[in-house]
Structure formats: C-alpha cells, structure tokens
Amino acid sequence: LGGEETGRAKHQIQTTICESCKQGWRDGAGAKLPLDAADVARAECDAQRIGSDREPGRAVQDVPPRVARFVHRRDGGRCRAPGCRSSRYLEIHHIVPRELGGGHEAENLVLLCDGHHRAVHEGTLALSGSATKLETHGGRDGVDTDARLALTTLGFRPNEARAAVAEARRRLAPASPLDDLVREALRRMA
C-alpha cells in the first residue's frame, strides 16, 4: 500500500446497487452481503464504475485521478476531521453531496479516514463550506435520525430522506427542533 498516490483506488470491490431502492450488496466469499446506507454512500463518493453484475463495462473513475492526486497532496495525506491525524484508510468525500449538485471539483472534495467518512454518512458528523474553508459540526443527538424516519414513514426513499435532512440541517441552526427540521427537509424534497 506504500508508494506515491496514483489517484486510483488501491482495491476493487464489486458493489451492486439496486437502481430502484438503492440497496447495496457486496460479493464476498461466495455470498451476497447487504450493505447499510452509510456504506453505499461512502462507495458512491469515489467509485470506479466497472459495469453491472450482469454485464462488464469499461472502468470509469468518478473522481479523475489527477483531481484525486491533487486532493491527497493538498490535504497532506491526512484526514481533515478536527483532531484526527490518520494517514491510513483515507477516502475522498464530497462536501456537497452529488445528489444535491456537488461536483468532483477539488474545492468540493476532502480526505477523511474511513471512521470519519462513515460518521458523516451516518449523520453524526457534518461538514459544510469548501475544502479551503471546511466547517465541521458534530455530536447531534437523534434528531436527524428521527427526521429521516419521519420522512421514510411518509413514503420517501431512505436515500431521498437522508439527502433532504442533510440539506435541511445545513440551512437551519444546529439546535433546531425536530418539527422545523422535518418541515425544511420537506421543502427540499418539493
């Protein structure tokens, strides 16, 4: 795993994602293992698309290798979460999620260790701003989880609910009550 950063993924793991429900699976040891929403979201941050589980395709990298190399150099090969000095198991993360219009520009990408990347996609750590002016917010209680649950109970897909709550959270004060968060998330979905 040593050597210079090439910008390409060090490993290829086939993940299959259902186009309609967005459930993900990983093939391992001859078994199809389910992935939770946070794992699917992490994989979607910087994937190399190789076709489907039925039809191989030409490998296409989401984040261009030159941009990935730039992000690794700019971030010093370390996790950007406050207080974290991890230089191993780093993953590229989109500050503004792709489903909300975020692109693969270097200013929208930061390095996070796998633990902090999971925390972002589980909703226990939030990032905002840009790569050069990164702001972090963490330690939220279960309000975001309750808001996502309320939206899925209303019939929205889990990935839609997650994105809407994340966008609503960015627009509201950190201590906003559940009903304000749900209302703002519904406005984002409209």
**Residue 126 near residue 169 (C-beta atoms within 8 A):** yes
How far is Cα 141 from Cα 32, in angstroms, rounded to an integer? 33
CA 41 to chain centroid: 4
Give me the residues paired with residue 33 across strands: 26
How far is Cα 19 from Cα 132, in angstroms, rounded to an integer? 34
**Residue 168 near residue 188 (C-beta atoms within 8 A):** yes
pLDDT tens-digit map of 113-123: 888 888 888 87
**Residue 20 near residue 9 (C-beta atoms within 8 A):** no
Q: Is 30 exposed, middle or buried (0-12, 13-18, 19+ CB in 10 A)?
A: exposed
Angle CA 146–182–20, to nearest 5? 80
pTM: 0.62
pLDDT tens-digit map of 13-47: 677 777 778 788 787 777 888 888 888 888 888 87
pLDDT tens-digit map of 63-106: 999 999 999 999 999 999 877 888 988 999 999 888 788 999 99
**Residue 142 near residue 136 (C-beta atoms within 8 A):** no
> Residue 130 — pLDDT band, cuts 50, 70, 90?
very high
Give me the residues paired with residue 109 across strands: 94
**Residue 167 near residue 101 (C-beta atoms within 8 A):** no
**Residue 130 near residue 95 (C-beta atoms within 8 A):** yes
